[in-house]
Chains A and B, each alone.
Chain A
C-alpha cells in the first residue's frame, strides 16, 4: 500500500460520500470525516492502524447510534448511513490490496445510493467525474508505479469506450417494471401536498421551488384563473387540522359537462402519494386511476416514479347536483363548542341572507371589506379557537387560513362545504412550450354545495388577493416576504436561463429518467422494431454489443493483423513445410540458396525444382521491384511443388 494510493482512495470515498452530507445525521458525518482525517494522518506519519477491538467498539457504537436515530438498520436513510459509516471504518483496516479493492467496490455502490436522492443532470455529471477518479484509483491499485498521466489516460479510455456500449445497453436492455420486492416506506422522498391541512402547511410548501408537474396543452391553454389542479379533498375539521376523514360510499361521481373539453398531458414528479392532479373536472385519463365521489384521482399505489399521462377536463361543469344525503351531512360537520364568534357571525348571515348564494357572497364580501391581509408569514394561531383568532384578531393569513375559515363559516351557516387542496396556475416555459407547476403554486380553496348547481368552487383567496390567482404568488405578496429568490423579481435573462435549463431538464426527465418498459417499447417500435419481446431485445442487445466490442477489438489489436507474413513469404513457407514433412526441415540460420543446395544434394530428384523456387524467391525478395506476374508464377509453382 503506497501512500499515494491511500490518498487516492480517500479522495474517491470523499467524492462519492460528499453529496450524502446533507442528509446524514450530523454526528455520523462528523465521525466519518474524523475517521478519514485520522487515516490521512496515520498515512502521513506512518503510524500503525488501530487495533481490531477498538474498531469493533467504534463499529458497534456507530451501529447502535444509527439504530437509535432511525429505529432500524434497513431502509434508505439508515441503510445509506450505515454503508457510509462502514466504508469510513474500512479505511481503518486498509492493509492489503484486497481491502483496497473492497473500498473501490464500496465507492461504486455509494455512487448508486446517491441516485436514490437525486438523478438530475448535475448529479449525473458529478458522478461521471467521480467515476473517473474511482477508475483512475483502480488502475493505480493494479499498477502502483505508473505515473498519474498514463493512469488517467487508461482510465479515461476505458470510460470513453464504455459509453457507446452503455448507450446500447440502456436502450436495449429489457426493462423490468419494478419493484421486485416491497420497498421500505422511506425509499422515496415525498414532497408536495399532504393529506391534511393545518395553518402554515401550504405556506411552508410555497417556499419550495421544486417542480410538482409539467403540463402540455393539446390546444390553447385555459385562462390562468381557471387552472385549478385538483388534489386531496378535505372534509373533517378537528378545530385545527383539516383531514380527509372516512367517507361514505356513495357510488360513482357524476357531473354535467357545460363546456368544450380541454386535452393536455401531465408529467408528474413522484410524490410518494396516491393522488394524481387534473384540471377541474377531469373526465378521461390515460392511466389507470379511480375518480372518487369527491372527484379526486387516486392510483392504486403511491407514485414512486415520474408519471406521464394524458387527461381531458371540462372547465365548466355541474358536479354531483344530486349529492347523497350522507355526504351532505359530512360536509356540515363542525367541532363542537369551538369558535363561538365565527358561529355567531355565520348565524347572522344566515338570518340576513335570502338563500345560500347570498350567504356565500356575504362571506366573500366580508373578507374583501374587512382588513384581511394575504401574507406568507402569518402570525401563529395559538388558541384552540383558531378560526376566531384568525377572523377577528390577526386577520393575516395564507390560502389555507382563508379556505379553512371560509368552509367553517359556510358549515356554520348550514351550507355543505369542503376544502380542496391542489395547485393553481403555473409558469409558461416558452422554450419547451409547456407549463411548469411548482410547489410554490400549491393552493387551497373551498367548494360549497348549492342546490341545483352541485359543488361550486369558491376561492376566498381571490377575494383578498386576486393577483394571486390572476398572476402568481410573487405578485400577491410583498416583495420582502420570504419568497424564493427566483419567484420574486429576478432579471429577465435569469428567468430565461432558468426556463431554458428547465426545458433541458424536462427532456432529461422524459427520456433518460423516465425510460421504462413502456417508453422502451414505444421508442423501439418507432425505430422499426416489431413484436418486441424480451428475448428479442436480449438477442438484439447481444448482437449490437458484440458488434461494438468487435469494432474496438479490431481497432485496438490492428497491429496483430497488420503484421501477417506477406504472400511471397507464405508461399515460400509452404514449400519449406512440404520439405519438412519429407524429413528435410530448414535450419533457422539457413538461407534459401543454402537450403536449396542441401536439398539438391540430398534429393537429386527435387534439385531442379527447388533451385528454381529458391532463385525465384530470392529474386522476388531481394530483387528490389514488385512484379505481380512473377509473384503469381512463384505462388503457382510453390503450390504445385511436390516432394
Chain B
C-alpha cells in the first residue's frame, strides 16, 4: 500500500516519460535536496551558534551567519548550474556484445557562465563528469556495457551537480528514446562455408569502378567524366574508359549450417562468418529461419546482416 503510494507520488512528482528532441532544464524539472555533507554542515553551524551564544562572541555570530548564508546561496548556485541547460540525445554507434556502448548526449549551455562538475549517472551507478563551457555545445559520451544482443536502452539517466560547495544535490532526470544496437559477440574463429566459385578463388570480374580495363565506343547515356578526352583529342573518335572490379562469389551463410547447437551460439558463429566474408570481399547472403537476406557486399550490407543477426528472434520488425 505504502510502496504503491510512493510509486504514485514519484510518478506524479518526477513524471517519468520518454522524451524526444531537445530538453531544456526548466525549474520544474530540477530537484534539489541537501547532501549528507550539507546536513553535517547544519550540525556544525548549530554547534557554532551555541558557542557564540555561550561565549557571547559577536564576531562568532557574524562568521556563523556568513557560513550559513553561503550555504543557502550555494543552493541557488547548484540550481543555476543546471538551470536552462539544453540537452539533446545524439547517436549511439552499434557495438558488439561485450563492448561498451557509447551514448552521445549533446549539452548546450546558452548562459554566460560556465557550468562545472555536471555528473551523468546511470541506475547501475556508473557516472561521467564533465563541464559545460559558457555559450558552447559540449558532447558527452556515456558508456554502458553491452551485455545482450539486440537493442540496448540506457533508460533513465540522472544529471546532477553538487557544485560549488557539495552541500546541495541538484538533479534532473533525462529519459531519452535512445538506443544502441548490440550485435552478437562473434566466435573467435570459424571457417566460411564453401561458395560456388567457378575458378576456385571465389572471384570473378564484373564491370565496376576499380581498375582501368580499356576503351570502348561511346553510346548515348554514358557519363561525361568517363569519356576519354585525350583519345578524342587525337581524333580517334568519342571513346569511353572501361573499368572492372573483382567481386566475390555468392556465398550463403546458413543458420542451419552453423555447428553450434543453440540459437545464440549459431548467431555468434554467423556473426564471425559475416565479418570474415566482408573482410575477404565476398558477396554473401543470410539464410535465417525467419527469412533470407539476398547476397550483397560492402559496409551497408554488412551492417544490415549484423542487424538481422542482432535482432533475430527479438520480435523487432525486420
Contact = CB atoms under 8 A, between A and B. Distances in A.
Given A154-B77, A166-B65, A588-B20, A143 B110 contact: no
Contacts of B68: 169
Contacts of A515: 58
Contact of A180 (B27, B54, B111): B54
Contacts of B76: 549, 552-553, 556-557
A549 B111 CA distance: 21
Interface in B30-71: 37, 40-41, 44, 48, 50-70
B56 A305 contact: yes
A173 B55 CA distance: 16
Nearest to A169: B65
A560 B83 contact: yes
Contact of B163 (A116, A143, A173): A143
A146 interface: yes
B56 A158 contact: no
B62 A170 contact: yes
Interface string A176-206: 1011110100010000000000000000000
A162 B73 contact: yes
A40 B68 CA distance: 31
Contacts of A108: 44, 48, 63, 67
Contacts of B67: 108, 162
A557 B80 contact: yes
A141 interface: yes
Q: Determine the interface band of chain A, counting residues with CB < 8 A from chain B.
A: 35 or more
Given A105-B41, A166-B62, A119 B164 contact: no
Interface stretch (A43-51, A123-131, A333-341): A123-131
A119 B72 CA distance: 26
Centre residue among A183, A515, A557 by max chain B CB count within 10 A: A557
A512 B69 CA distance: 19
Interface in A103-149: 105, 108-109, 111-112, 115-116, 119, 123-124, 127, 131, 135, 138-139, 141-143, 145-146
A181 B57 CA distance: 15
A378 interface: no
B44 A115 contact: no
B57 A166 contact: no
B56 A143 contact: no
Contact of B59 (A123, A187, A304, A553): A123
Given A162-B70, A179-B55, A170 B65 contact: yes
A385 interface: no
Contacts of B21: 588
Interface in A84-107: 101, 105
A576 to B, nearest CB: 15
Interface in B76-129: 76-77, 79-80, 83-84, 110-111, 114, 116-117
Interface string A533-575: 0000000000000000100110011011001000000000000
B246 interface: no
Nearest to A145: B131
B162 interface: yes
A150 B63 contact: no
B221 to A, nearest CB: 37
Nearest to A111: B63
A109 B41 CA distance: 11
14 contacts: A112-B60, A112-B63, A119-B59, A127-B59, A142-B164, A158-B73, A158-B165, A165-B69, A169-B69, A173-B65, A183-B55, A553-B76, A557-B79, A560-B26
Given A150-B114, A166-B66, A169-B69, A557 B83 contact: yes
A115 B131 contact: no
B163 to A, nearest CB: 5
B242 interface: no
Contacts of A109: 44, 48
Given A108-B44, A549-B72, 8 more contacts: A127-B59, A127-B63, A158-B74, A158-B165, A162-B73, A179-B54, A557-B83, A557-B84
Contact of A178 (B55, B64, B70): B55
A169 B73 CA distance: 14
Contacts of B163: 139, 142-143
A273 to B, nearest CB: 17
Contacts of A553: 76
A163 B66 contact: yes
Nearest to A106: B44
A623 B100 CA distance: 50
Contact of B66 (A131, A180, A559): A131
A173 B52 CA distance: 12
Given A159-B70, A556-B80, A141 B58 contact: no
A432 interface: no
A514 interface: yes
B53 to A, nearest CB: 5
Contacts of A394: none
Contact of A124 (B59, B69, B70): B59
A552 B58 contact: no
A368 interface: no
Interface in A209-241: none
A162 to B, nearest CB: 4
A115 B20 contact: no
A161 interface: yes
B57 A116 contact: yes
Contacts of A552: 73, 76
Contact of A560 (B27, B48, B114): B27
A601 interface: no
A169 B225 CA distance: 82
Contacts of A563: 84
Nearest to A166: B65
B195 interface: no
A516 interface: yes
A472 to B, nearest CB: 32
B278 to A, nearest CB: 35
Contact of B164 (A127, A158, A176, A559): A158
Given A119-B57, A178-B53, A563-B84, A105 B73 contact: no
A183 B70 CA distance: 30
A34 interface: no
A393 to B, nearest CB: 49
B165 A142 contact: yes
B249 to A, nearest CB: 44
Centre residue among B62, B68, B74 by max chain A CB count within 10 A: B62
Contacts of A170: 61-62, 65
Given A109-B48, A150-B114, A560-B83, A179 B70 contact: no
A431 interface: no
B93 to A, nearest CB: 24
A295 to B, nearest CB: 29
B29 to A, nearest CB: 11
A139 B164 contact: yes
A105 B44 CA distance: 8
Contacts of B77: 154, 158, 556
A127 B59 CA distance: 10
Contacts of A252: none
B62 A161 contact: no
Contacts of B40: 101, 105
B165 A139 contact: yes
